[in-house]
Amino acid sequence: MIAVSDFSHLYSGLTYPPAFGEPESVSRLLSARLIFRGIFVAFALAIGALALLVGIASGRNATAILYGILCLFFVGYTCYPVLQTLFSGFYPFYAVENLSFCAMLATVMLLQKKMFGQKERLSYLFIGFGGFMILFSAVLPFALPSGSLLIMGAYSFAVMAYEWVTAAYLTVTAARAVMRERVHSQTLMCGILIFDAALVMDRLLPYHEPVVTGWFPELASFALVLCIGIAVAKEVGAKYKDSAVIEERMNSMERLAETQRVNYDLLRERVKETKTAQHDLRHHFVMIEGFLQDREYDKLESYVREYQASIRHIQPAGYSKNPVVDVLARHYALLAEQNGISVTMKLEISRDIKVSDADLCALLSNLLENGLEACMRQEKGERYIHLSIGQKPSMLSIIMENSTDGKVLGRGGAFLSSKAEGRKGYGLDSIRAIAARYGGDTEFCYDKDREVFISTVLLTF
């Protein structure tokens, strides 16, 4: 018979059996438990802090912030062996553990609801049950001194019911999301099934006393937090990518507006030059008439040739019947000419096309700008850009080839930006997003033999 009192626990008396053995063996066991739990706690704290920072820095992303809070609740649920080792005396370790566990399950339900876009009123009932258990766990330590065994029994039954009801709710909603092919549903389903299995094993092996690793629900909760973290990371990454694509599209529109302004100034200058040429035309007729009267045909031919060359630049080159495509083509052709880059364009596209001006601008400006930058980095060999656009009643195809310096970087199937070392550019992502919006496809490849980068875009409508 061993009579003991444990004043740090919610329950009085002997809660765990004492460890008998040589001091060195017992110390090694406690050290292993401390290291194992310390890794759990440190990892969850680091991931939680990172999620909170990302959530706040990315414009108060609710999903990332909720996940950071979930990690903190998991730490509160599993950190008591670490705190008991580091601190002595009375601390409400187990009260914090129970409170954190109830809050952790409620946060998982909130995250699942947000990520799957659940709008059923029934979900509020389960989340409300979680809120009640959080309140119950917070009030219980203060009610215990004057409470009774009936309160403790009711609390234990409520926690067990909360576990199973929450697990059932999460499993059913995740299964429905998988059947509806919702994003991240399979990842979350894996974590929830691990948690379900832990609850079953906890009932099948009620006398299992974990010494180092922790209870089944604790291990399963760690797996659940990891799975949710993977899903949240993918969602945050997708949102960041979408925002980058939108920003790229806005930049393209700004470039189009600037290009149109420059072309407007150029047209005004050409109009002024045309009026001047018209004013001077009578003088040229006088010169031509003089050459004809004197039968100086060689001088006449030379004079006419020089005059044609002098007025050729007045009429700007027209590349396409589509105004947006024409403005962009003239703008980038001029930039290429200024940098000694040869440009050939075959643009068979009509004025009326079922592609918005914004998308057409973002698509072409990204292609041409990437090609122009690649050619400008090229130090030897012919520098050129070939752009071809073909239109059919329900399809638009764009093919562009540009020479490169042979230093095309690729990582994981994605080409890296040349603007910053190791940074992935979002111009190609913007093109892919536009093509997907119109049910089309894209292909970007590098021909090592010819040192040519080939971009192919197909839009359907």
Give yes or no for a contact between 136 and 155, defined as CB atoms under 8 angstroms apart. Answer: yes
- Determine the Cα–Cα distance for residues 3 and 8; give it in Å rounded to an integer: 16
Residue 12 C-alpha from the chain's centroid: 51
Tokens of 309: 């060359």
**Degrees (nearest 5) of the Cα angle 273, 275, 276?**
60
- The 3-class SS string of the chain reads CCCCCCCCCCCCCCCCCCCCCCHHHHHHHHHHHHHHHHHHHHHHHHHHHHHHHHHHHCCCCHHHHHHHHHHHHHHHHHCHHHHHHHCCCCCCHHHHHHHHHHHHHHHHHHHHHHHHCCCCHHHHHHHHHHHHHHHHHHHHHHHHHHCCHHHHHHHHHHHHHHHHHHHHHHHHHHHHHHHCCCCCHHHHHHHHHHHHHHHHHHHHCCCCCCCCCCCHHHHHHHHHHHHHHHHHHHHHHHHHHHHHHHHHHHHHHHHHHHHHHHHHHHHHHHHHHHHHHHHHHHHHHHHHHHHHHCCCHHHHHHHHHHHHHHHHHHCCCCCCCCHHHHHHHHHHHHHHHHCCCEEEEEECCCCCCCCCHHHHHHHHHHHHHHHHHHHHHCCCCCCEEEEEEEEECCEEEEEEEEECCCCCCEECCEEECCCCCCCECCHHHHHHHHHHHCCCEEEEEEECCCCEEEEEEEEEC
**CATH topology (fold) of 319-461:** Heat Shock Protein 90 (3.30.565)
Query: What's 24-244's CATH class?
Result: mainly alpha
- Determine the Cα–Cα distance for residues 227 and 186; give it in Å rounded to an integer: 10
Parse the chain into domains and list their residue ranges. 24-244, 319-461
Residue 119 backbone dihedrals phi, psi, to 5 degrees: -120, 5
Burial call 422-437: b when 16+ CB within 10 Å, e when fewer: eebbbbbbbbbbbbee
Tokens of 426: 């979002």
Choose among 248, 263, 442: nearest CA to 358.
248
The CA-based diameter of the chain, rounded to the nearest angstrom, is: 138
**What pLDDT, on the 0 to 100 scale, is given for residue 350?**
86
**What is the side-by-side strand order in the sheet with 384-392?**
342-347, 384-392, 395-403, 452-460, 441-447
**What pLDDT, on the 0 to 100 scale, is given for residue 103?**
93
Dihedral class, residue 413 (left if φ above 0, else alpha if ψ from -120 to 50, else beta)? left
- Determine the Cα–Cα distance for residues 400 and 107; give it in Å rounded to an integer: 50
**What pLDDT, on the 0 to 100 scale, is given for residue 412?**
46
**Partners of residue 339 on adjacent β-strands:** none
Give yes or no for a contact between 108 and 174, defined as CB atoms under 8 angstroms apart. Answer: no
**What pLDDT, on the 0 to 100 scale, is given for residue 258?**
63
Beta strands 384-392; 414-415: pairing state: unpaired
Over the chain (461 residues), the average pLDDT of each successive run of 10 is 57 61 84 85 91 82 89 89 70 78 93 80 86 86 62 82 92 90 87 92 80 82 91 81 68 63 56 57 64 72 70 58 82 86 90 82 87 89 92 90 77 51 61 87 88 91 77
